[in-house]
Structure 1
Amino acid sequence: MTAAQAPAPEPLASIATRIRAHVVDMCAGPEGGHLGGAFSCVEVLTALYFSVLKVDPQRPDDPARDRFLLSKGHAAQALYATLAERGFFPVEELAGYGRPGSRLMGHPVRAVPGVELPTGSLGHGLALACGFALATRYAGGDSRSFVLLGDGELQEGSVWEAAIAAASLGLDRLVAVVDRNGLQLTGSTERIAPMEPLAERWRGFGWAVRDVDGHDASALADHLAAAPWEPGRPSVLIARTVKGHGLPFLAGRTASHYVTLSERNHARAIRALRATDAAS
């Protein structure tokens, strides 16, 4: 048996809404969570795990699997919810997020099935993914390595060192996704460290680049499934997103970066998600 892609059993948008509901529930717990950055990448994770990645929840360490790294590890709640929905561990375990004894910590760790490496110290995920892609080449495999980066994370010089290395090595089985929500803890990324035109920056480093609506799960799946887009070049998908997307009272606000939802705002968030699901 080898790792295999999972057919989407229902519309990707519905799965994304359910994942958001799990994140909301976790953010209503005593530890709260990085709701804004988790919400902005939900469609990316949904597209990957329910349409693109060659993985087997029953065999998370299958040598033939595709690899995924959440470089922006503070969005762990979105990854946990996605892994649970995909069957890597019971959905009921999400209720213990951040509690004593739980393996669901603030940043992902290897104790969680489906997590490849601990992440969250920003700026390292792309280099680690390069290592996975190079190892696959040496092993003669054909799996792909995917990594999700935050746009604020691109201020780390190590990201661009890894980008140079990936292009120089011709790692065309490597696919990066940038969660371009435009906000970081202290404000707008463009005010703090401007990076546009972002697509041209990546092209200048030798990457094949595409730019897409990061909340269109079907479009994301189509682009990611088609990688590599150019032979001999790594691929980067710039996903244009909104921090806190799906919750009108938090969307696009720096206040969504880390929240502990009150009982009132928890109920408010669930109502907003139900309305979105009903309209889709």
Structure 2
Amino acid sequence: MSTASTIATDLTERVRATRDAAQRVRLNALRMGEVQGQGYIGQALGAADILAAVYTDQLRHRPEDPEWKERDRFLLSTGHYAIGLYAALAEAGIIPREEIETYGSDDSRLPMSGMASYTPGMEISGGSLGHGLTVAVGMALGLRHLGSDSRIINFLSDGELNEGSTWEAAMGAASHRLGNLIALVDMNALQADGPTASVLSIEPVEAKWESFGWEAHRVDGNDVGALLRAFDAIGDRNPVGRPHVIICDTKVGRGVPLLEDREKNHFMRIEEHEWAICREQLIAGYEGARR
């Protein structure tokens, strides 16, 4: 087999494994949402492909040792996306899959908003948006001073691009040439106050990051192949160089038409009888795509 064929086959296998993982992440998220009957389930479904790409294909970690010194760090700036991250942590074996049944319950390690003090594998407590990238810059700089080649991957939302602290951090990362920092921007076009574009226009997003000194890639964030190719384009671990951003256009509720089409889908209340419909639609769509 030629080298080109080997690379193509390898990517095909990685895409297949990541798609399968993303499906399981979505199923985990639906189960957690059903426990509470409501929540940020649309964001979890929309970001599942990104989270699966990170935990299945990219992140250097040890599931049995979440505090492993040489690990890469995944920072969830958008604390309300915690349901999606828990779903990915369960898929990655960092938390027991059966523990997702405790989501949002009293004394659970899986609160509705991400808290680093509670949950294995949760690196920061996401909360007021705009802080995650600032923390990521400090972590990336500290790791480089320690001589580590570990990466910091920061997940943030398009709504966070409204925050001045995000752009201050972006300038700092470029100034310090933090080649060990990757930002993932979930461009789902929605925030609490309504469509992102109508709240405060943020386009042209790719050009803005590039003007701040970042290497920018924009992809369909629900296309696993495109996500993996974007990560591959970043190349080898190099703690000194331009920081990287992958701008991911996603759809809230991806994979579940019932939720994709809801008018108000930032925080959803889903009726008891609808959860079975959600699972059926998710499974049918996935099986149809695999044929």
Asked whether the 8 Å contact 1:173–1:228 carries over to 2, the reply is no
Alignment-mate amino acid for residue 16 of structure 1: A
Distance (whole Å) between structure 2 residues aligned to residue 152 and residue 262 of structure 1: 28
Match status 1:123 vs 2:130: yes
Give CA deviations for 1:172-221 in whole Å, capped at 9, x if unaligned: 11000100011112221111111111101111111110011101123212
Deviation of 1:31 (Å): 5.7
Q: What is the match of residue 242 of structure 1? A: 251
Asked whether the 8 Å contact 1:212–1:220 carries over to 2, the reply is yes
Match status 1:56 vs 2:62: yes
Alignment-mate amino acid for residue 216 of structure 1: D
Q: What is the match of residue 113 of structure 1? A: 120
Count the aligned residue pairs.
274
Deviation of 1:101 (Å): 1.1
Where does the alignment leave 5 or more consecutive residues of structure 2 unmatched?
Answer: 1-12
Deviation of 1:225 (Å): 4.2
Deviation of 1:247 (Å): 1.4
What is the correspondence of 1:197-208 to structure 2 with a 5 Å cutoff? Answer: 197-208=204-215
Match status 1:162 vs 2:169: yes
Distance (whole Å) between structure 1 residues aligned to residue 258 and residue 131 of structure 2: 32
Q: SS in structure 1 opposite 2:94?
A: coil
Q: What is the match of residue 32 of structure 2? A: 26
Asked whether the 8 Å contact 1:69–1:146 carries over to 2, the reply is yes
Where does the alignment leave 5 or more consecutive residues of structure 1 unmatched?
Answer: 1-6
Judged with a 3 Å threshold, the aligned counterparts in structure 2 of structure 1 residues 145 and 221 are, in CA distance, closer, same or farther, namely: same
Q: Which has the higher contact order (CA 8 A, sep 6+)?
A: 1
- RMSD value over aligned CA atoms? 1.9
Asked whether the 8 Å contact 1:40–1:181 carries over to 2, the reply is yes
Alignment-mate amino acid for residue 161 of structure 1: E
What is the correspondence of 1:232-271 to structure 2 with a 5 Å cutoff? Answer: 232-251=241-260, 253=262, 255-271=264-280
Deviation of 1:45 (Å): 0.5
Give CA deviations for 1:110-148 in whole Å, capped at 9, x if unaligned: 221111111122110001111111011100011110001
Distance (whole Å) between structure 1 residues aligned to residue 100 and residue 15 of structure 2: 22
Deviation of 1:151 (Å): 0.4
Give CA deviations for 1:228-276 in whole Å, capped at 9, x if unaligned: 6996210000001111111112216452211232221101100111102
Which structure shows the higher helix fraction? 2
Q: SS in structure 2 opposite 1:152?
A: helix
What is the correspondence of 1:1-280 to structure 2 with a 5 Å cutoff? Answer: 11-30=17-36, 32-110=38-116, 111-227=118-234, 232-251=241-260, 253=262, 255-279=264-288, 280=290
